[in-house]
A = this chain, B = another copy of it.
Amino acid sequence: MADTAKVAEKEKMTIVVFSGELDKALAAFIIATTGASMGMDVTMFFTFWGLNILKKNEGGMKSKGFKQKMFSILNRGGSSRLKLSRFNMLGLGTWMMKMVMKESHYPSIDEFITMAKEMGVKLIPCSTTCGMFGLTENSFRNGVENIAGAAFFVGEARKSKVTLFI
């Protein structure tokens, strides 16, 4: 109970991760892990294309319904398939970005997800868009929290010192 009280006193940061691009995902994880390292209680709420970041890197054609299946072919997801929002150039820009990150000894998105988890950042898929895209809790990698709805997000955001939509 003393512990719960202590957590409740931490300043909160809430980030909606709407975008599924490599650069925006990086920005979101840099801010989230920095916040956590400064003692904040950080929640990342993944919705729309942002859900791709948390999808398993395997095939994962598990979505139900015909249109959802078609969508999931287009929109395969998994942290290793993210592309840049600019200069993707059939993959060349994305590949160069990944090289630059590696050379600068910069963590990959996979490493950022692991780091974030270890620092206590909560990674939550949005239930509304999961329904739209035919995703279930099985679609996501280990360590992801239970899916939750927009009301959960708004509840967190109104208690937060910092709320971002990325």
- Which residues of A line the B interface, CB within 8 A? 11, 13, 16, 18, 20, 23-24, 26-27, 30-31, 34-35, 37-38, 40, 47-49, 65, 67-68, 70-71, 74-75, 85-87, 89, 93, 96-97, 99-101, 103-104, 106, 128, 131-133, 149-151, 153-155, 157-158, 160-166
Contact = CB atoms under 8 A, between A and B. Distances in A.
Contacts of A18: 23-24, 27, 166
B23 A100 contact: no
Given A40-B154, A151-B38, A162 B164 contact: no
As for how many copies of this chain the complex holds, the number is 3
Contacts of A93: 74
Most chain B beta carbons < 10 A, residue from A87, A154, A157, A161: A154
Which are the 5 A-B pairs with shortest beta-carbon distances? A34-B150, A164-B165, A157-B162, A158-B161, A67-B100
Contacts of A96: 67, 70-71
A128 B30 contact: yes
A83 to B, nearest CB: 10
A20 B85 CA distance: 11
Most chain B beta carbons < 10 A, residue from A65, A93, A132: A132
